[in-house]
Amino acid sequence: MDLSDGRVVRGIMGEFGISAQKKYGQNFLTDTDVLDRIVEGSGITGDDTVLEIGPGLGALTQRLASAAGRVIAVEIDRALIPVLHRTLEGCDNIEIINADILECDLRELNEKYGTGGRLKVTANLPYYITTPIVLKLLEHSDMIDSITVMVQKEVAVRMQADPGSKDYGALSLAVQYYSDPEVIAEVPADSFYPSPAVDSAVIRLDVRHEPIVDVPDEAMLFKLIRATFNMRRKTLTNALSAGVPGLTRERIGSALEAMGKSPTVRGETFTLYEFAELTTLICENTDNKI
């Protein structure tokens, strides 16, 4: 069954009496070249277990099943489960699960349906919850090798953004802390049925086995980052003193002085390495938890 053929897609949807659900951000990918590039870009082999988030009608899932040893396909929309059983009939290496990925215990999921080893993740992500899903995956960096996902083009730009650019922010730093991001395809809106209102991109995140920087307190690092970009127009001193309870202007100023930075510096210019240095200095200058 060729699910890259729009006529086949419309026929399946008509047969099962379903339509694309806006509440789930459903836009079904029907571009053969893009589907193939996702699988190729994921670097999947027959030894891999793949976690697919949001298989939809199963177009990408079919290709993943041919390339991987095992596929765990998690679909939130109950109405698509019988469709997937039909479109993936004969693929005996796929486990179809009706669940919300944000509520899943990924470790338990892998141990129950995978091999318990490291996963490769692929997904055509719903754009309205892209960031929470990506961050949840990155927080499981000890069990994931790579994440290859379709996202809104501007989100892919943010993930790769450099310090000082308008796209640089907390998402850029989180993604780059846990992984090495690379856009592998740009995808026009007409590659989907129905077509979304924006262009998309496929980005691959090669997950680091160890974070790229050393910090004494990872939670503090991300407190500083979030506070900085929640008030990105303020100086770093003002943003942190307002956004991190218990962190005084004096401690921030002392840390910035040790780094050779002006007290009026803006956090949007800080690299990940500079945020790590700032975190270390702030942690060294206190005996109390913030």
Q: Mind listing the pLDDT tens digit of every residue in the chain (290 residues)?
A: 889 888 899 999 999 999 999 999 999 999 999 999 999 999 999 999 999 999 999 999 999 999 999 999 999 999 999 999 999 999 999 999 999 999 999 999 999 999 889 999 999 999 999 999 999 999 999 999 999 999 999 999 999 999 999 999 999 999 999 999 999 999 999 999 999 999 999 999 999 988 899 999 999 999 999 999 999 889 999 999 999 999 999 999 999 999 999 999 999 999 999 999 999 999 986 655 56
Amino acid in the structure at residue 287 = D
List pLDDT tens digits, range 43-76.
999 999 999 999 999 999 999 999 999 999 999 9
Q: Domain boundaries in the chain?
A: 6-207, 218-284
CA atoms of 287 and 290, how far apart (whole Å): 10
Q: So what's the architecture of 6-207 in CATH?
A: 3-Layer(aba) Sandwich (3.40)
pTM of this prediction? 0.94
- 264 near 237, Cβ under 8 Å? yes
Amino acid at the residue 57: L
The pair of three-digit structure tokens given for residue 223, joined into one six-digit string: 């407190």
Instruction: Give the fold, CATH level 3, of 218-284.
Output: Helicase, Ruva Protein; domain 3 (1.10.8)
Query: Is 148 in a helix, a strand, or coil?
Result: strand
